[in-house]
Amino acid sequence: MSANLLTLSGVHTHIGAYHILHGVDLAVPRGQLTMLLGRNGAGKTTTLRTIMGLWRASKGKVDFEGRDITAMETPLIARHDIAYVPENMGIFADLTVKENMLLAARSAKRAQQMDAQRLQWIFSLFPAVEKFWNHPAGKLSGGQKQMLAVARAIVEPRKLLIVDEPSKGLAPAIINNMIDAFAQLKRTGTTLLLVEQNLSFAKRLGDHVAVMDNGCVVHAGSMQELSDNEDLQHRLLGLAI
């Protein structure tokens, strides 16, 4: 069994006439948390979308557990137990929190069929999900929507959870909730790949980092190494953690 659950090798992605990813190499070690960092416009979201098949790699390979998923359709990629929370969170505003959760569960048609123990665990991580269970999701605050988005992604166990900017716009108390949730998920064996702009968040959670610039991964290593090295932070990110 390879140490890496997910590997991108030399991935190029075009969006229309624009050449956005220029040979991305990225390894996501199994059972650990990898932070994808980089300035705005570096290509982080495009990388996540390419992994999920929402953009097509024009060259290179995406490998998940030894399987080539580069050309697979998005629903099939998701069925390999990969959950993806996009930046816009993908919540249905007109549906209740419960209905949003049910739609995310593959094996349950009714709330009674959901794994009760897992649901209790999710409620303990994200109390707002329980509190607003029968309310339309559109009525939630931004932070509560972000919680619901992550709760949906983990409603059933997944091998890999990918989240684009989970801490964006969140109040500090909710950021702590989010950190706790990711730490617990990691303890249950879930591999995580998170895009972050919030470096203190990244530092508290990350095992590994990959830093993107101009459509390439320009640095990969341990979070610790990057945290300890302000010169490296300045060079790669233009600021210190």
Least Å distance between CB 46 and ligand ADP? 3
Residues 30, 3 contacting (CB under 8 angstroms): yes
Return the axis-axis angle of helices 97-104 and 142-153, rounded to nearest 10°.
30
**Which residue in 40, 88, 112, 117 binds ligand ADP (CB under 6 A)?**
40
Candidates 29-37, 38-46, 153-161, 201-209 — which segment interacts with Mg ion by CB under 5 A? 38-46
Tell me 188's DSSP state: T
DSSP per residue over 67-115, as a string?
EE-TT--HHHHHHTTEEEE-TTTT--TTSBHHHHHHHH-SS-SSGGGS-
Q: Which is nearer to ligand ADP, 44 or 219 (CB)?
A: 44
Q: Using the rule CB under 5 A, is 45 a contact of Mg ion?
A: yes
**Phi, psi torsion values for 198, nearest 5 degrees:** -80, 105
20 touches which of Mg ion, ligand ADP, none (CB within 5 to 8 A by kind)?
ligand ADP
**Which residue in 8, 37, 42, 52 binds ligand ADP (CB under 6 A)?**
42
Nearest-angstrom CA–CA distance, 55 and 64: 17
**Which residue in 5, 33, 34, 43 binds ligand ADP (CB under 6 A)?**
43
Q: Which is nearer to ligand ADP, 183 or 239 (CB)?
A: 239
CA dist 211 → 34, 129, 156, 236 (Å): 11, 33, 30, 7
Candidates 44-52, 57-65, 122-130, 176-184 — which segment interacts with ligand ADP by CB under 6 A? 44-52
Interacting residues with Mg ion (CB under 5 A)? 44-45
